[in-house]
Chains A and B, each alone.
Chain A
């Protein structure tokens, strides 16, 4: 029993250690977030349920669910929450916990998409859409890239696709890397 209680506490502590995550303690389970969410019908558990499950220590169920990855960050729940919890930021906190801890993978490609995006932000300081999308399809499903070809060609024809990535000046790129590497060295928020 003691170990279950301990595991429960560790999970909640992990969530609370990320800014925005600590407000999970304030939830009164009114369900305004779930009722406001435009993407709730695709979520395995509604935002209200996810909060209840996290507080009950259901670590694996929460971290392997697709719920937070269906959040489009539209912030409708955030402006409506009567407890000022900012469920959108809470979803971001859950996403950060999910990528940093080993758990069963959620049935969604959103984490891979986010990761592909941030890989570019980290290594180039800019996110050229062509490179980012190619990298994402390569990581997830190269066949999809073929299916996307007509759209890509249409964008190219309309002058909306830049093959060459915009680069920062070398010294600016070095500065950004130094900052981000230091951030990694500092090892998280707490």
Chain B
């Protein structure tokens, strides 16, 4: 049964630093018989920065996307944790503050739009595990990953503040997804701890301290690879890994993949389609070792 969704990739996954996330999302969704129909002419969700400098404008900015999506009548799926929170938060605010909703609709009317509040924004992880399901995902696995040890990193916003499909502090869905792909999810106590987010730009020391803690926690628990569900988490852990090593005199070299890239590997999709060459810390050695081990075993 084909499943249909309105798709909101977000700036980073569609054309930015997390392009590999968008590429692998599309490839994996195809295997899972999902039709992700991109929301045409959408705008940037505004993320945390917009709501921190101008609340009303940021809500109108986000409501435009929701109004466009409402016309489609499907769930609105995004792979980005930040887009996910912003879209859900806009819904919640418009519901909780009727006066605000009236104002937002007054602004939307200037663009010929109206929003009634019926769109259901969802994170891609939620859709994979709850609509498609672990069994169906398992049935698509073609490559034996040979017990590769994975640290499933959730970060914050996929489970907080809206714990709509998993626990806000001790989530499990990504762990179970890893297991259904035939790999091993390592214990990872800091799996829902913050990576520093966009503060890596303005308060680098602060964010690198978080990145260091996460890398240390993953590696000391035996992980050979980390997977993430958010463009910014991947950027901080992968792109800033070298900087973190330099600052804390460590020598971490752990590859960080988007969870969709990892699913793609298990499904036997080729590296190019998954954008594997875009990882700063290369994953090929770790993956090759496990594939060889699997064949031997």
Tally inter-chain residue pairs, CB-CB below 8 A. Answer: 216
* Chain B interface extent, by class: 35 or more
Q: Is B15 an interface residue (CB 8 A)?
A: yes
Residue in chain B with minimal CB distance to A164: B15
Interface membership of chain B positions 23-49, coded 1 if the CB is closer than 8 angstroms to chain A and 0 otherwise: 000000000000000000101101111
Selected from A73, A118, A161, A180, the residue in CB contact (under 8 A) with B60 is A180
Note all chain A residues with C-beta closer than 8 A to B56.
183, 186, 188-189
Task: Let me know if A48 is at the binding interface, CB within 8 A.
Answer: no
Please give the distance in Å from A187's CB to the nearest CB on chain B.
8
- Say if the beta carbon of B198 comes within 8 Å of chain A: yes
**A76-B156, A76-B194, A126-B44 known; A179 and B203 CB under 8 Å?**
no
Given contacts A76-B156, A166-B14, whether A179 and B60 have CB atoms under 8 Å apart is yes
Q: Which of A73, A128, A151, A160 contacts B278 (CB 8 A)?
A: A160
CB distance A78 to B53 under 8 Å? no
Given contacts A111-B53, A159-B277, A166-B15, contact A72 B160 (CB under 8 A): no
Q: Could you show 18 A-B contacts with beta carbons less than 8 Å apart?
A: A19-B100, A38-B210, A69-B203, A72-B194, A72-B196, A73-B48, A73-B157, A75-B85, A75-B160, A76-B169, A114-B48, A125-B43, A127-B47, A129-B17, A160-B18, A162-B15, A176-B111, A179-B108
Identify the A interface with B (CB < 8 A). 18-20, 38-39, 42, 69-70, 72-76, 78-79, 86, 88, 92-93, 95-96, 99, 108-115, 117-118, 120-122, 124-129, 133, 136, 151, 154-155, 158-162, 166, 168-169, 172, 175-176, 178-184, 186, 188-189
